[in-house]
Amino acid sequence: MGRAEYIEAPCKSALNRVQGMPFSWSLNPYRGCVHACHYCYARATHAHLGLNADQDFETRIFVKTNLPEVLRRELARPSWRGESVAIGTATDPYQPGEGRFRITRGALEAVYAFRNPLTIVTKSTLVQRDIDILAALALLARVRVHMTITTLDPALSRLVEPGTPPPVQRLGTLRRLSDASIPTGVSIAPILPGITDGAEAIEEVVAAARAHGATALWGGPLRLAPLVKEHYYGWIAATRPDLLDRYERAYRAGANAPGAYVSRIEERVAAARARHGFTESESARHSADPVDRPLVARAGGQLTLPHFTLAS
């Protein structure tokens, strides 16, 4: 990976309508991601900017500098029904640049002001910075932080997800969030054929998730869309050439793994979930009760809580 270049890119809208997912709205403060996960499906989005899905995606990071302000306006619309918002479904909202730009923090303050339910998906320990506002929001609306953990093997994690914190640190973050009464979950996704798909490997992640306070868990196999597939195959050829033929045969027909393989992986995840007491359904991961009214007064002033202050 090269040195990251952060490019300010004000947005026209913050909320994105989503179809075919367990949630209806998503929000992504950044475009591109220095975590550089070789399987990341969002790599393909850089092509729309005339950039590549390889090093450009990992080093040219677009920052939606005005996102918190735009989000406040959208949440204030009379037509907004208070549906749950999923933050970080494409690129990580807590990648290192967030420490400098604080766009995700600003988005959380906007969400808190309107008692809006949310879920967060991240691999980063930086989410711990926002325990104060997440714990406060959890008292008012449905909240869940999902930590993505694809493997407990630190060496494998460095190979597959070179820019991410080690798995043990992610588990520690999961425990701190759970101890703060913030509902947490673990995402074992994607599960990589021939690399992280063994029953024992899946079982280890599920057991660790439960031991560190997670109450929700889901997982699914790798999907390889165009551009992502080419990048991933290049990585496989360089690191696990013995698997390249298997991947080319398995994904020859398209982006998805063969149905029989998908069913086998789903069965492994379901069995491990059951053994460790995970009962929440996939559809419930992003479900949330609608909000009734804003918490912050329109007339101005400040709302003060034990650990932070918000200006309305």
Alpha carbons 117 and 283: distance in angstroms, whole number? 15
pLDDT in tens, 174-211: 999 999 999 999 999 999 999 999 999 999 999 999 99
CA distances from 284 to 84, 116, 216, 269 (A): 11, 16, 9, 17
Q: Does residue 311 fall inside a structural domain?
A: no
Q: Does residue 151 fall inside a structural domain?
A: yes
- Letter for the amino acid at 209? A
Alpha carbons 139 and 147: distance in angstroms, whole number? 20
Q: Residue 266: which of 206, 222, 219 has the closest Cα?
A: 219
Q: Does residue 173 fall inside a structural domain?
A: yes
Q: Does residue 301 fall inside a structural domain?
A: no
Q: Using alpha carbons only, how large is the chain's radius of gyration in Å?
A: 19
Q: What domain range is 147 assigned to?
A: 5-278
Residue 131 sits at the vertex; the CA angle it makes with 129 and 135, to the nearest 5 degrees, is: 165
Give the pLDDT of residue 279: 86
List Cβ neighbours of 290 (8 Å cut-off, separation of 6 or more).
81, 82, 83, 117
Q: Does residue 307 fall inside a structural domain?
A: no
> Which residues does residue 219 pair with via DSSP β-bridges, in sequence order?
188
- Letter for the amino acid at 240? R
- Letter for the amino acid at 239? T
pLDDT in tens, 33-57: 999 999 999 999 998 889 999 999 9
Q: Does residue 54 fall inside a structural domain?
A: yes
205: domain CATH number?
Answer: 3.20.20.70
Give the pLDDT of residue 20: 76
| pLDDT at 298 > cutoff 80 | no
| pLDDT at 236 > cutoff 60 | yes
90-113 burial, b for 16+ CB within 10 Å, e for fewer? Answer: bbbbbbbbbeebbbbbbbbbbbbb
Average pLDDT over residues 109-115: 98
Q: Name the domain count of the chain.
A: 1
Q: Does residue 195 fall inside a structural domain?
A: yes
Q: Does residue 63 fall inside a structural domain?
A: yes
| pLDDT at 292 > cutoff 60 | no
